[in-house]
Chains A and B, each alone.
Chain A
Amino acid sequence: MSGKRVVTLTVNGDRVEFLCEARQTLLEVLRNNLDLTGTKEGCSNGNCGACTVIMDGRPVVSCLVLAVEAEGSELRTIEGVARGSHLDEVQSAFLEGAALQCGICTPGFIVQTEALLEENPNPTEDDIRFYLAGNLCRCTGYDKIVRAVQAAAEARQVAAN
């Protein structure tokens, strides 16, 4: 019906421009147009959180955002979490705590944890479980994920002091 349009935004600090159709989701464009395949497609209906990215400071599921809506926004994806070649505290804690098995949900969990710790650097277990309720994992049973988030929060507190 309508042609493609140009969308300009910032992704992980870089200014990015792409062409897309109105019907394309942000998730599709990240993976297919921008080759940022760290963001995973899970349910595609907003239930599983695998496609979580941070848009203008807020975590969102990119399967329920149209790419055209991202015009002018500032986006942070899983590719923007590591500091150069060094994993950040959340990534390290997930790795060291074996907080993953198959790994497909992991980018979403890590990005959501980044949003949590930004908002609440010292979360209780209840805070963590509530904040991560929109992310599903079929492998771990969540306990190791919750402990990894606690470990990441502690590591960040130590680093800050």
Chain B
Amino acid sequence: MHAFDYQAPTTVADAIQLMAKHNGTARPLAGGTDLIDQMRVGRLTPELLIDVKKLKELNVLSAGPDGLHLGAAVPCYRIYGDETVNSQYTALADSCHIIGGIQIQSRASMGGNLCNSGPAADSTPSMIALDGVCVIAGPDGTREVPVEAFCTGPGQNVLKPGELLVEVRFPPRPAHSGSHYRRMIPRNEMDIAVVGVGASVVLDQGGQNFVSARISLGAVAPTPLFAQAAGDLLAGQSVSDASLDKAAAAAREIVSPITDMRGTREYRIHVTGVLVKRVLQAAVARARGEEIDYRRGH
């Protein structure tokens, strides 16, 4: 690996100052599971790594009346080990269980997954479905960006030099809501999504009609997508094969996948529809308090 400097500041202000001072040549280091590999192969050559794991704001994982605060450096195992996440923000746990293997989950963070900005990132669709908002600190203060607007292209995002993702904040979960993420891969674990789908639904009191839904798609476009029109179609509709099929068709309309070794464009478009329906069914079941037929990694 090339030579670089390493700093582990203990306040966000110090971290921002370091980031700004090294204008574009510094990279934040959280779990390092993407960054260290990218440096090893020479794709990234930062002069300074700023270890953000000692910043308390980036290690926050707490739920309150204003929703869930998820610090950008919180590793996957803490996320799926959290009671509130499992009961209310379940899609986040679904994602964290299938990012890499257990060793990767000890270190990898959803903030890092987002900042790496891969089109097939497994946690970004969950964050979009759950209406996450990125809290970004920089030399000019703090700004907020919805997760669906964060990625701008493969490996690219809205962060400007000197800016740091501090946390992703999620609104409180309404009653009768449920969420899910799953991906299609040809094996059981340790693979990159052919297609990934996240969904969050809110049902009426009887659990028979949609109040609202948010659907998100991964690995089918240069960035993870928010399938807003597909979700909006479901508002006020009954939960039925017909309504789910309509949403699946609308989601298929917005994808622009590539053909590669993981699947052809046609296959990915087809799987998008299949997964949207299944993920919505699972989110509905969770909203109704039912067990779902899903084993992580299968």
Interface 1/0 per residue, A32-57 and B, CB below 8 Å: 00000000000011110100100100
Q: How far is the CB of B193 from chain A (nearest CB, A)?
A: 16
Rounded to whole angstroms, the CA-CA distance of A23 and B1 in the bound complex is 6
Is the beta-carbon distance between A46 and B100 smaller than 8 angstroms? yes
Residues on A with C-beta less than 8 A from B32 are: 64-66, 69
Which residue of B has the minimal Cβ distance to A65? B32
Rounded to whole angstroms, the CA-CA distance of A103 and B176 in the bound complex is 52
Within 8 A of B (CB), among A106-152: 112, 115-116, 126, 129-131, 133-135
Is the beta-carbon distance between A61 and B103 smaller than 8 angstroms? yes
Is the beta-carbon distance between A22 and B100 smaller than 8 angstroms? no
Q: Contacts A23-B2, A66-B6 hold; do A130 and B297 have CB atoms under 8 A apart?
A: yes
- B292 contacts A by Cβ under 8 Å: no
Is the beta-carbon distance between B6 and A59 smaller than 8 angstroms? no
- B51 contacts A by Cβ under 8 Å: yes
Q: Contacts A45-B37, A64-B107 hold; do A134 and B102 have CB atoms under 8 A apart?
A: yes
Is the beta-carbon distance between A2 and B100 smaller than 8 angstroms? no
Residues on B with C-beta less than 8 A from A55 are: 106
Q: How far is the CB of A20 from chain B (nearest CB, A)?
A: 10
Residues on A with C-beta less than 8 A from B1 are: 23-25
Residues on A with C-beta less than 8 A from B36 are: 25, 63-66
Interface 1/0 per residue, B100-116 and A, CB below 8 Å: 11111011000000000
Within 8 A of A (CB), among B39-85: 40-41, 47, 49, 51, 53, 77
- B4 contacts A by Cβ under 8 Å: yes
Is the beta-carbon distance between A58 and B77 smaller than 8 angstroms? yes
Which residue of A has the minimal Cβ distance to B106? A58
- B33 contacts A by Cβ under 8 Å: yes
- B189 contacts A by Cβ under 8 Å: yes
- B188 contacts A by Cβ under 8 Å: yes
Is the beta-carbon distance between A46 and B37 smaller than 8 angstroms? yes
A to B contact number (C-beta, < 8 Å): 92
Residues on A with C-beta less than 8 A from B3 are: 1-2, 21-23
Residues on B with C-beta less than 8 A from A45 are: 37, 40-41
- B241 contacts A by Cβ under 8 Å: no
Residues on A with C-beta less than 8 A from B2 are: 23
Q: How far is the CB of A51 from chain B (nearest CB, A)?
A: 9
Q: Which of A22, A58, A130 contacts B6 (CB 8 A)?
A: A22
- B140 contacts A by Cβ under 8 Å: no
Q: Which of A5, A23, A24, A134 contacts B101 (CB 8 A)?
A: A134
Rounded to whole angstroms, the CA-CA distance of A64 and B6 in the bound complex is 15
Rounded to whole angstroms, the CA-CA distance of A62 and B201 in the bound complex is 40
Q: Which of B5, B31, B297 contacts A2 (CB 8 A)?
A: B5
Q: How far is the CB of A129 from chain B (nearest CB, A)?
A: 8
Rounded to whole angstroms, the CA-CA distance of A49 and B104 in the bound complex is 10
Rounded to whole angstroms, the CA-CA distance of A9 and B202 in the bound complex is 49
Q: How far is the CB of B32 from chain A (nearest CB, A)?
A: 6
Is the beta-carbon distance between B4 and A133 smaller than 8 angstroms? no
- B190 contacts A by Cβ under 8 Å: yes
Task: List residues of chain A with CB under 8 Å of any chain B CB.
Answer: 1-2, 5, 21-25, 44-47, 49, 52, 55, 58-61, 63-66, 68-69, 112, 115-116, 126, 129-131, 133-135
Closest 8 CB pairs of A and B: A134-B101, A22-B6, A58-B106, A133-B189, A23-B1, A2-B5, A1-B3, A61-B103
Beyond A23-B4, A46-B103: 14 further Cβ-contacts under 8 Å? A22-B3, A24-B1, A25-B1, A52-B103, A58-B106, A64-B32, A64-B36, A68-B6, A69-B51, A116-B102, A126-B295, A129-B188, A133-B190, A134-B100
In the assembled complex, 9 residue pairs joining A and B whose CB atoms fall closer than 8 Å, in A order, are: A24-B1, A44-B40, A46-B104, A49-B101, A63-B36, A64-B32, A65-B32, A116-B102, A130-B297
